[in-house]
Amino acid sequence: MDHVDCVVAGAGVIGLAAARSLALAGRDVIVLEAEDIIGSQTSSRNSEVIHAGIYYPTNSLKAKWCVEGREALYAYCAERNIAHARVGKLIVATRDEDVPRLRELHAQAEANGVTDIEVLAAEDAMALEPNLQCVAALRSPSTGIIDSHGLMLSYQGEAEDHGAMIAFASRLIAARPDTNGMVLSVDGAQQIEIACSVLINAAGHGAWNIARSVAGMPFEAIPPHHLARGNYYSLSGCPTPFERLVYPMPSESGLGIHFTRDLAGQARFGPDVEWLDGETLDYSVSTDRLQEFENAVRTYWPGMPDNALTPTYSGIRPKLVGPGASPADFVLQSPADHGIDGLFQLFGIESPGLTASLVIGEQIARLVAGKRG
């Protein structure tokens, strides 16, 4: 049986960031990816936004890793020539009753260490974006956009340059503790077993199945898994309306149907929040939500032409809580959390996971170093 120091399950942005950090630290690393390409699910079905760190509870992992990860990511992109742009963002209140909540967000951002955010009067915000309608806004200069696939390719390249290997079409189907770590059953071109000292379960939505497949895993250590599909609609037939990203007031389950654009300038709106039953990943786009999208967008862009929105793609967030519950924090489990030596697991890595990916990868490498010496 082959033995490897570290196995990472999942070649999304988090798994690749972990593989990069482990390989840079001199670890022997294999990445197991069930699909035949990197980042085919959550990592490539999002808004590609570099978040500032505004919304998350102070001292949460989301807040700390987002603020730290944002600046690390900008520096990394500049160093590695990854396409990105610090375009800035406006969070807008479109009703007078939203202004107190906007000021609460301002205080939250400052408590999280977002030091460049400012409150704008309506006329100042609309002077920046003439197509905008609002009664007040927050301006976040440090929000940006990024080529997420380019970022993942860079993580992959660095990991492979330092000896890591990615095994595509290789699904981890079972794991059991062993005297020297863990023994993994992998289903690929043929079913094989691999022994490893450390297993990093960074498989996104697949992390739950992997956790359930680990012999001896306490049931209570596996958090709930809820699917929240977010649909995106693109803009066609008219110019992109804003230079900056524009976000409405956040809802309990998401950040509202917001305006973003890609690096080529193509505008898109979304995501909404559509809860799915079970654990089947259905990436079909809900085409019956056009009226909902138009109503939401016109609260801050009243001049949007009729028939300007087209359903385009969807993503599914791995949520730890269901409808009506307060958003949950990231979960990064170590052996102290479940009692299985050599196993580290990540659950619920939704936004701002892309922004925080470098920091999460480095945190995993530090935890492994603490175990392995």
pLDDT tens across 201-252, in order? Answer: 999 999 999 999 999 999 999 999 999 999 999 998 899 999 999 999 987 6
Q: What percent of the chain has pLDDT over 90?
A: 94
Does one domain contain both 241 and 299?
yes
How many domains is the chain built from?
3
Q: Which of 111-115, 134-138, 287-291, 297-301 has the least mean pLDDT?
A: 287-291
pLDDT at 255 (0 to 100)? 83
Q: What is the CATH number of the domain that holds 251?
A: 3.30.9.10
**93 and 121 share one domain:** yes
Phi, psi of 51 (to 5 degrees): -85, 150
What angle, 0 to 180 degrees and rounded to 10, lies between the N-to-C axes of helices 148-161 and 357-372?
A: 30
Last residue of a domain, one of 122, 141, 160: 141
Domain's final residue, options 113, 141, 169: 141
Same domain, 21 and 155: yes
Is 207 a member of any domain? yes
Judgement on whether residues 16 and 29 belong to the same structural domain of the protein: yes
Residue 253 in any domain: the answer is yes
Average pLDDT over residues 28-35: 98
Indicate whether 339 and 365 sit together in one domain: yes
For the segment 281-319, what is each residue's pLDDT rounded down to a tens digit?
A: 999 999 899 999 999 999 999 999 999 999 999 999 999
Q: Is 367 found in the same domain as 247?
A: no
Q: Assess if residue 72 is contained within a domain.
A: no
| Whether 38 contacts 173, CB under 8 Å | no
184 and 231 share one domain: no
pLDDT of residue 253: 64
Looking at residue 128, its pLDDT comes to 98
Q: Which domain holds residue 357?
A: 2-45+149-223+328-372
Do residues 230 and 315 touch, judged by C-beta distance below 8 A? yes
| pLDDT tens sequence across 334-355 | 999 999 999 999 999 999 999 9
CA-CA distances (angstroms) from residue 274 to 43, 201, 256, 258?
18, 26, 12, 15
Which residue type sits at 224? P
| Whole-prediction pTM | 0.96
DSSP 239-257: ----SSEEE----SSSS-S
At 312, phi and psi to the nearest 5?
-125, -60
pLDDT at 4 over 70: yes
Cα 75 from Cα 80, distance rounded (Å): 9
